[in-house]
Amino acid sequence: MRTRMVAGNWKMNMNLQEGVALATELKQRVTNPGCEVVIGTPFIHLTEVSRLLEGSPIRVAAENCADQVKGAYTGEVSAAMVRSTGATYCILGHSERRAYYHETAEILKKKVDLALAEGLRVIFCIGEVKEERESNRQNEVVAAQLEGSLFHLSEEQWKQITLAYEPVWAIGTGLTATPEQAQDMHAYIRSLVAKHYGEQVAEDTTILYGGSCNEKNAAELFANRDVDGGLIGGASLVADKFCAIIAAR
């Protein structure tokens, strides 16, 4: 059975007190969601937010982890450290990390392996930039991202992966992919997964859509056969909006 999911990605927003206040409100409001609900927070929130969400169905994700196990890497946070906070997910491969922090497919492959080795589930982001979409290269871009960082995984490991298709041109721009564009790409991604892991594994793989997904367009996006939920940026910072998106799933 495929897991439906709504995941928030707070990015670099909210100080500790603001984050705790939002998580507290979500805990009160999200008591019986019809899908898996995850919030991705900055590292500094993980411990406190995980603790306060004990007994809640909401799971907690880091937005990144290091590509090394441990040691002299000043400022980095390892997968084991993330796991020790109580977080159970890690978002990896976000386009902002690829673009601003030069994370290559090879680096992301290492991060995925380390996160899985620590027992974290991974929400792995893929997606093309505007120029690639305009030259109709979105399929090859996404295929290369999967090939470069994920398709070395065993079938057992693959079950810990949630994919998030996030067209970069749609992130934070208000330009959402049309339901048709999302469905086409999600079906294509599922076909690639089927080629590597077989039809059943592909059927069971959760593929989220991300990029200006909000309380107004979520239902229309989620109505598509291969769109299993959303990875939400801006709208995950406002409890009313995030709860409405969860209700739409």
Catalytic residue annotation: 94, 166
By C-beta, is 23 or 123 nearer to ligand 13P?
123
Q: Which of residues 91-120 bind ligand 13P (CB under 6 A)?
A: 94
| Contact between 183 and 226 (Cβ < 8 Å) | yes
Reported for 232-237, long-range contacts at CB under 8 A and 24+ positions apart, including other chains, are: 232/6, 232/7, 232/8, 232/9, 233/8, 233/9, 233/11, 233/171, 233/172, 234/172, 236/7, 236/8, 236/9, 236/10, 236/39, 237/8, 237/10, 237/13, 237/14, 237/22
Q: C-beta of 159: minimal distance to ligand 13P in Å?
A: 22
Question: For the window 2-21, what string marks contact with ligand 13P as x by the rule CB under 6 A?
Answer: -------x------------
Question: For the window 141-180, what string marks contact with ligand 13P as x by the rule CB under 6 A?
Answer: -------------------------x----xx--------
Q: Does 234 bind ligand 13P (CB under 6 A)?
A: yes
* Interacting residue with ligand 13P among 42, 93, 211, 229 (CB under 6 A): 211
* Interacting residue with ligand 13P among 42, 93, 127, 233 (CB under 6 A): 233
How far, in Å, CA of 119 to CA of 186, rounded? 26
Sole residue written with tokens 């209700």 = 247
Interface ranges with ligand 13P (CB under 6 A):
9, 94, 166, 171-172, 210-213, 231-235
